[in-house]
Amino acid sequence: MVALRSLEPVRLLAERSRWRAAEFVFWSFVVASYFLFPGYLVLISQILIAGLFALSLDLLLGFGGMPSLGHAAFFGLGAYTAGLLGQMGWGEPISGLLLSGIVAGVFGLVCSLFLSRLRTTAFLMVTLTLGLLLREFANRWSGLTGGDDGLSDIALWPLFGVFRFGLSGHTAFWYGLCVTFIVFLLVRRLVHSPVGLALEAMRENERRAVALGISPRLMVIAIFTLSSAIAGLAGALLTQTTSFVALEVLSFERSAGVLIMLVLGGVGTLYGALVGAAVYLVARDVLSALDPVYWYFWLGLIIVMVVLFANDGLVGLSQRLQARAVRRWEAA
Protein backbone atom coordinates (compact mmCIF):
# COMPACT_ATOMS: atom_id res chain seq x y z
CA MET A 1 0.00 0.00 0.00
CA VAL A 2 2.83 2.40 0.86
CA ALA A 3 4.60 1.58 -2.39
CA LEU A 4 1.43 2.30 -4.37
CA ARG A 5 0.99 5.65 -2.65
CA SER A 6 4.59 6.60 -3.35
CA LEU A 7 3.91 6.05 -7.04
CA GLU A 8 0.98 8.48 -7.15
CA PRO A 9 3.12 11.63 -7.69
CA VAL A 10 5.05 9.82 -10.41
CA ARG A 11 1.85 8.86 -12.17
CA LEU A 12 0.52 12.37 -11.77
CA LEU A 13 3.61 13.90 -13.38
CA ALA A 14 3.57 11.30 -16.15
CA GLU A 15 -0.07 12.09 -16.91
CA ARG A 16 0.51 15.85 -16.88
CA SER A 17 3.57 15.64 -19.11
CA ARG A 18 1.88 13.40 -21.69
CA TRP A 19 1.41 15.13 -25.04
CA ARG A 20 -2.19 15.63 -26.12
CA ALA A 21 -3.54 15.54 -29.65
CA ALA A 22 -4.46 19.22 -29.41
CA GLU A 23 -0.81 20.08 -28.81
CA PHE A 24 0.31 18.30 -31.97
CA VAL A 25 -2.43 20.11 -33.88
CA PHE A 26 -1.34 23.45 -32.46
CA TRP A 27 2.32 23.13 -33.44
CA SER A 28 1.40 21.62 -36.81
CA PHE A 29 -0.72 24.69 -37.50
CA VAL A 30 2.16 26.99 -36.53
CA VAL A 31 4.45 25.22 -39.00
CA ALA A 32 1.71 25.19 -41.66
CA SER A 33 1.22 28.96 -41.25
CA TYR A 34 4.49 29.40 -43.17
CA PHE A 35 2.74 27.98 -46.24
CA LEU A 36 -0.79 29.24 -45.49
CA PHE A 37 0.15 32.88 -44.86
CA PRO A 38 3.32 33.59 -46.86
CA GLY A 39 2.57 37.31 -46.93
CA TYR A 40 2.43 37.59 -43.14
CA LEU A 41 5.67 35.91 -42.12
CA VAL A 42 6.99 39.07 -40.46
CA LEU A 43 3.83 39.34 -38.34
CA ILE A 44 3.97 35.64 -37.43
CA SER A 45 7.61 35.94 -36.38
CA GLN A 46 6.62 38.89 -34.17
CA ILE A 47 3.87 36.74 -32.65
CA LEU A 48 6.38 33.99 -31.88
CA ILE A 49 8.70 36.49 -30.20
CA ALA A 50 5.86 38.03 -28.19
CA GLY A 51 4.69 34.53 -27.27
CA LEU A 52 8.16 33.66 -25.98
CA PHE A 53 8.16 36.84 -23.90
CA ALA A 54 4.69 36.02 -22.55
CA LEU A 55 5.87 32.49 -21.77
CA SER A 56 8.60 33.91 -19.54
CA LEU A 57 6.01 35.91 -17.59
CA ASP A 58 3.65 32.92 -17.43
CA LEU A 59 6.39 30.91 -15.72
CA LEU A 60 6.75 33.68 -13.16
CA LEU A 61 3.09 34.61 -12.66
CA GLY A 62 1.07 31.59 -13.70
CA PHE A 63 3.16 28.96 -11.92
CA GLY A 64 5.05 30.97 -9.34
CA GLY A 65 2.29 33.41 -8.42
CA MET A 66 4.69 36.36 -8.70
CA PRO A 67 3.16 39.32 -10.58
CA SER A 68 5.46 41.69 -12.43
CA LEU A 69 4.82 45.03 -14.08
CA GLY A 70 8.44 45.58 -15.08
CA HIS A 71 9.26 42.44 -17.02
CA ALA A 72 10.18 44.55 -20.05
CA ALA A 73 13.41 45.40 -18.21
CA PHE A 74 14.80 41.95 -18.99
CA PHE A 75 13.29 41.89 -22.48
CA GLY A 76 14.93 45.22 -23.23
CA LEU A 77 18.24 44.21 -21.67
CA GLY A 78 18.40 41.21 -24.00
CA ALA A 79 17.41 43.38 -26.96
CA TYR A 80 20.10 45.99 -26.28
CA THR A 81 22.74 43.33 -25.62
CA ALA A 82 22.08 41.77 -29.03
CA GLY A 83 22.08 45.23 -30.64
CA LEU A 84 25.36 46.29 -29.06
CA LEU A 85 27.01 43.00 -30.05
CA GLY A 86 25.93 43.59 -33.64
CA GLN A 87 27.24 47.15 -33.65
CA MET A 88 30.56 46.04 -32.18
CA GLY A 89 31.03 43.61 -35.04
CA TRP A 90 29.84 40.34 -33.55
CA GLY A 91 26.81 39.37 -35.60
CA GLU A 92 26.69 35.60 -35.14
CA PRO A 93 22.99 35.05 -34.27
CA ILE A 94 23.01 31.99 -31.99
CA SER A 95 25.94 33.00 -29.78
CA GLY A 96 24.56 36.55 -29.60
CA LEU A 97 21.18 35.15 -28.61
CA LEU A 98 22.64 32.99 -25.86
CA LEU A 99 24.84 35.78 -24.53
CA SER A 100 21.84 38.14 -24.41
CA GLY A 101 19.87 35.57 -22.44
CA ILE A 102 22.77 35.12 -20.04
CA VAL A 103 23.10 38.88 -19.46
CA ALA A 104 19.37 39.20 -18.76
CA GLY A 105 19.49 36.11 -16.53
CA VAL A 106 22.41 37.43 -14.48
CA PHE A 107 20.64 40.74 -14.01
CA GLY A 108 17.50 38.83 -13.01
CA LEU A 109 19.55 36.82 -10.52
CA VAL A 110 20.86 40.00 -8.89
CA CYS A 111 17.36 41.48 -8.72
CA SER A 112 15.89 38.25 -7.35
CA LEU A 113 18.19 38.39 -4.33
CA PHE A 114 16.15 41.38 -3.18
CA LEU A 115 12.79 40.48 -4.70
CA SER A 116 12.79 37.04 -3.05
CA ARG A 117 12.11 38.76 0.27
CA LEU A 118 8.97 40.47 -1.09
CA ARG A 119 5.49 39.25 -1.89
CA THR A 120 2.30 40.40 -3.67
CA THR A 121 1.92 44.20 -3.78
CA ALA A 122 5.50 44.99 -2.74
CA PHE A 123 6.83 42.57 -5.37
CA LEU A 124 4.60 44.17 -8.01
CA MET A 125 5.63 47.73 -7.20
CA VAL A 126 9.36 46.99 -7.00
CA THR A 127 9.32 45.27 -10.41
CA LEU A 128 7.42 48.24 -11.84
CA THR A 129 9.99 50.66 -10.41
CA LEU A 130 12.82 48.48 -11.69
CA GLY A 131 11.47 48.63 -15.23
CA LEU A 132 11.00 52.40 -15.13
CA LEU A 133 14.49 52.98 -13.72
CA LEU A 134 16.15 50.84 -16.37
CA ARG A 135 14.30 52.67 -19.14
CA GLU A 136 15.36 56.04 -17.75
CA PHE A 137 18.92 54.78 -17.47
CA ALA A 138 18.87 53.73 -21.13
CA ASN A 139 17.41 57.09 -22.12
CA ARG A 140 20.09 59.09 -20.30
CA TRP A 141 23.02 56.91 -21.41
CA SER A 142 22.43 57.78 -25.03
CA GLY A 143 26.08 57.31 -25.92
CA LEU A 144 25.64 53.59 -25.42
CA THR A 145 21.96 52.96 -26.18
CA GLY A 146 21.34 55.65 -28.80
CA GLY A 147 18.72 57.32 -26.60
CA ASP A 148 15.50 58.21 -28.41
CA ASP A 149 17.08 57.29 -31.75
CA GLY A 150 17.81 53.72 -30.65
CA LEU A 151 20.34 51.43 -32.31
CA SER A 152 20.08 50.85 -36.04
CA ASP A 153 22.19 49.33 -38.80
CA ILE A 154 22.89 46.30 -36.64
CA ALA A 155 25.07 43.93 -38.63
CA LEU A 156 23.88 40.34 -38.38
CA TRP A 157 25.64 37.44 -40.05
CA PRO A 158 23.66 34.82 -41.98
CA LEU A 159 22.29 32.03 -39.81
CA PHE A 160 24.72 29.08 -40.00
CA GLY A 161 26.53 31.15 -42.63
CA VAL A 162 23.78 30.38 -45.17
CA PHE A 163 20.37 31.85 -44.29
CA ARG A 164 20.25 35.65 -44.48
CA PHE A 165 17.79 37.76 -42.54
CA GLY A 166 15.70 39.82 -44.95
CA LEU A 167 12.51 41.82 -45.24
CA SER A 168 10.58 38.76 -46.44
CA GLY A 169 10.76 37.19 -42.98
CA HIS A 170 11.53 33.63 -44.13
CA THR A 171 14.63 33.17 -41.98
CA ALA A 172 13.09 35.13 -39.10
CA PHE A 173 10.07 32.79 -39.10
CA TRP A 174 12.04 29.55 -38.83
CA TYR A 175 14.61 31.03 -36.47
CA GLY A 176 11.93 32.38 -34.16
CA LEU A 177 9.91 29.16 -34.35
CA CYS A 178 12.87 26.94 -33.48
CA VAL A 179 13.99 29.08 -30.55
CA THR A 180 10.43 29.43 -29.21
CA PHE A 181 9.72 25.71 -29.54
CA ILE A 182 12.97 24.67 -27.83
CA VAL A 183 12.38 27.05 -24.92
CA PHE A 184 8.75 25.93 -24.72
CA LEU A 185 9.86 22.29 -24.43
CA LEU A 186 12.25 23.17 -21.60
CA VAL A 187 9.61 25.18 -19.71
CA ARG A 188 6.99 22.48 -20.27
CA ARG A 189 9.36 19.86 -18.89
CA LEU A 190 10.12 22.06 -15.88
CA VAL A 191 6.51 22.73 -14.86
CA HIS A 192 5.69 19.03 -15.23
CA SER A 193 8.54 17.99 -12.95
CA PRO A 194 8.88 17.85 -9.14
CA VAL A 195 10.24 21.40 -9.33
CA GLY A 196 7.02 22.49 -11.01
CA LEU A 197 4.95 20.83 -8.29
CA ALA A 198 7.02 22.58 -5.63
CA LEU A 199 6.52 25.88 -7.41
CA GLU A 200 2.75 25.39 -7.53
CA ALA A 201 2.72 24.37 -3.87
CA MET A 202 4.51 27.58 -2.96
CA ARG A 203 2.03 29.56 -5.06
CA GLU A 204 -1.01 27.99 -3.41
CA ASN A 205 0.18 28.04 0.22
CA GLU A 206 3.66 29.19 1.09
CA ARG A 207 3.47 28.13 4.74
CA ARG A 208 2.55 24.57 3.86
CA ALA A 209 5.28 24.53 1.23
CA VAL A 210 7.82 25.47 3.90
CA ALA A 211 6.48 22.68 6.11
CA LEU A 212 7.13 20.26 3.24
CA GLY A 213 10.76 21.34 3.09
CA ILE A 214 10.47 23.74 0.15
CA SER A 215 12.55 26.93 0.33
CA PRO A 216 10.40 29.76 -1.10
CA ARG A 217 13.37 32.13 -1.35
CA LEU A 218 15.44 29.68 -3.40
CA MET A 219 12.44 28.92 -5.62
CA VAL A 220 11.83 32.62 -6.27
CA ILE A 221 15.49 33.18 -7.10
CA ALA A 222 15.64 30.22 -9.47
CA ILE A 223 12.36 30.91 -11.29
CA PHE A 224 12.89 34.66 -11.51
CA THR A 225 16.36 34.12 -12.97
CA LEU A 226 15.07 31.63 -15.54
CA SER A 227 12.14 33.87 -16.44
CA SER A 228 14.48 36.84 -16.89
CA ALA A 229 16.78 34.82 -19.15
CA ILE A 230 13.86 33.73 -21.36
CA ALA A 231 12.64 37.32 -21.59
CA GLY A 232 16.16 38.33 -22.63
CA LEU A 233 16.11 35.68 -25.37
CA ALA A 234 12.84 37.12 -26.66
CA GLY A 235 14.29 40.63 -26.69
CA ALA A 236 17.40 39.46 -28.52
CA LEU A 237 15.22 37.69 -31.10
CA LEU A 238 13.36 40.93 -31.75
CA THR A 239 16.60 42.84 -32.31
CA GLN A 240 18.11 40.16 -34.53
CA THR A 241 15.04 39.81 -36.75
CA THR A 242 14.47 43.56 -37.15
CA SER A 243 18.07 44.89 -36.98
CA PHE A 244 16.81 47.70 -34.77
CA VAL A 245 16.23 48.34 -31.08
CA ALA A 246 14.62 51.38 -29.44
CA LEU A 247 13.65 52.54 -25.96
CA GLU A 248 10.18 51.07 -26.48
CA VAL A 249 11.53 47.62 -25.59
CA LEU A 250 11.97 48.87 -22.01
CA SER A 251 8.66 50.73 -21.77
CA PHE A 252 5.85 50.13 -19.32
CA GLU A 253 3.56 49.56 -22.31
CA ARG A 254 5.66 46.53 -23.23
CA SER A 255 5.28 45.12 -19.70
CA ALA A 256 1.55 45.83 -19.63
CA GLY A 257 1.09 44.41 -23.13
CA VAL A 258 2.62 41.04 -22.25
CA LEU A 259 0.39 40.86 -19.16
CA ILE A 260 -2.65 41.48 -21.37
CA MET A 261 -1.52 38.67 -23.66
CA LEU A 262 -1.51 36.29 -20.71
CA VAL A 263 -4.96 37.41 -19.60
CA LEU A 264 -6.32 36.85 -23.11
CA GLY A 265 -4.71 33.45 -23.56
CA GLY A 266 -4.92 32.11 -20.03
CA VAL A 267 -2.53 32.44 -17.10
CA GLY A 268 -0.75 29.26 -16.04
CA THR A 269 -1.50 27.26 -19.19
CA LEU A 270 1.76 27.74 -21.19
CA TYR A 271 -0.17 27.72 -24.46
CA GLY A 272 -2.08 30.76 -23.25
CA ALA A 273 1.09 32.81 -23.74
CA LEU A 274 1.29 31.88 -27.43
CA VAL A 275 -2.45 32.12 -28.10
CA GLY A 276 -2.73 35.43 -26.25
CA ALA A 277 0.20 36.89 -28.19
CA ALA A 278 -1.42 35.89 -31.48
CA VAL A 279 -4.83 37.31 -30.54
CA TYR A 280 -3.36 40.54 -29.17
CA LEU A 281 -1.06 41.32 -32.11
CA VAL A 282 -3.56 40.33 -34.80
CA ALA A 283 -6.34 42.31 -33.10
CA ARG A 284 -4.03 45.30 -32.74
CA ASP A 285 -3.10 45.28 -36.43
CA VAL A 286 -6.66 44.75 -37.65
CA LEU A 287 -8.26 47.29 -35.31
CA SER A 288 -5.62 49.96 -35.91
CA ALA A 289 -6.19 49.59 -39.66
CA LEU A 290 -9.98 49.86 -39.27
CA ASP A 291 -9.94 52.71 -36.75
CA PRO A 292 -6.54 54.44 -36.43
CA VAL A 293 -7.78 56.83 -33.73
CA TYR A 294 -9.96 54.76 -31.37
CA TRP A 295 -8.58 51.27 -31.89
CA TYR A 296 -7.49 51.08 -28.25
CA PHE A 297 -11.15 51.30 -27.25
CA TRP A 298 -12.09 48.25 -29.31
CA LEU A 299 -9.08 46.32 -28.06
CA GLY A 300 -10.03 47.15 -24.50
CA LEU A 301 -13.58 46.01 -25.20
CA ILE A 302 -12.29 42.64 -26.40
CA ILE A 303 -10.22 42.26 -23.22
CA VAL A 304 -13.22 43.11 -21.04
CA MET A 305 -15.38 40.55 -22.85
CA VAL A 306 -12.74 37.85 -22.40
CA VAL A 307 -12.40 38.62 -18.68
CA LEU A 308 -16.19 38.59 -18.19
CA PHE A 309 -17.01 35.43 -20.12
CA ALA A 310 -13.69 33.54 -20.03
CA ASN A 311 -11.83 34.64 -16.92
CA ASP A 312 -9.42 31.73 -17.36
CA GLY A 313 -8.51 32.91 -20.87
CA LEU A 314 -9.20 31.52 -24.30
CA VAL A 315 -7.21 28.35 -23.63
CA GLY A 316 -9.11 27.75 -20.41
CA LEU A 317 -12.40 28.33 -22.23
CA SER A 318 -11.48 25.85 -24.95
CA GLN A 319 -10.52 23.26 -22.30
CA ARG A 320 -13.86 23.69 -20.53
CA LEU A 321 -15.79 23.38 -23.78
CA GLN A 322 -13.81 20.29 -24.71
CA ALA A 323 -14.46 18.69 -21.31
CA ARG A 324 -18.18 19.47 -21.63
CA ALA A 325 -18.29 17.92 -25.09
CA VAL A 326 -16.56 14.78 -23.80
CA ARG A 327 -19.05 14.45 -20.93
CA ARG A 328 -21.99 14.78 -23.29
CA TRP A 329 -20.44 12.23 -25.63
CA GLU A 330 -19.94 9.76 -22.78
CA ALA A 331 -23.48 10.38 -21.49
CA ALA A 332 -24.90 9.68 -24.92
Quick: pLDDT tens for 46-67: 999 999 999 999 999 988 888 8
More confident site: 184 or 209? 184
Cα–Cα distance, 127 to 70 (Å, whole number): 5
- Say what the pLDDT of residue 274 is: 95
Distances from the Cα of 180 to the Cαs of 53, 175, 233, 275, in angstroms? Answer: 9, 9, 9, 13
- Say what the pLDDT of residue 237 is: 95
pLDDT at residue 6 greater than cutoff 70: no
More confident site: 55 or 124? 55
Q: Give CA 125 to chain center in angstroms.
A: 20
The pLDDT of 306-329, averaged and rounded, is 84
- Say what the pLDDT of residue 144 is: 85
pTM over 0.75: yes
User: Mean of the per-residue pLDDT values for the chain?
Assistant: 88
Domains and CATH numbers, the chain: 7-331 (1.10.3470)
Cα–Cα distance, 67 to 65 (Å, whole number): 6
The pLDDT of 271-286, averaged and rounded, is 93
Distances from the Cα of 277 to the Cαs of 101, 257, 272, 303, in angstroms? Answer: 21, 9, 8, 13
> Sign of the CA dihedral 210, 229, 130, 48?
negative
279: confidence class by pLDDT, cuts 50, 70, 90: very high
Distances from the Cα of 95 to the Cαs of 30, 71, 86, 149, 241, in angstroms? Answer: 25, 23, 11, 26, 15
pLDDT at residue 280 greater than cutoff 90: yes
Cα–Cα distance, 67 to 286 (Å, whole number): 29
277: confidence class by pLDDT, cuts 50, 70, 90: very high
pLDDT at residue 7 greater than cutoff 60: no
- Say what the pLDDT of residue 152 is: 83
93: confidence class by pLDDT, cuts 50, 70, 90: very high
The pLDDT of 196-215, averaged and rounded, is 83
Neighbours of 235 (CB within 10 A): 34
- Say what the pLDDT of residue 224 is: 94
- Say what the pLDDT of residue 28 is: 95
Q: Which residues contact 312 (CB under 8 A, 6 or more apart)?
A: 266, 267, 320
pLDDT at residue 4 greater than cutoff 90: no
Percent of the chain with pLDDT over 70: 97
147: confidence class by pLDDT, cuts 50, 70, 90: confident
Least confident of 5-19, 44-58, 73-87, 283-297: 5-19
- Say what the pLDDT of residue 29 is: 95
- Say what the pLDDT of residue 329 is: 85
The pLDDT of 205-221, averaged and rounded, is 85
Percent of the chain with pLDDT over 90: 49
What is the residue type of 93? P
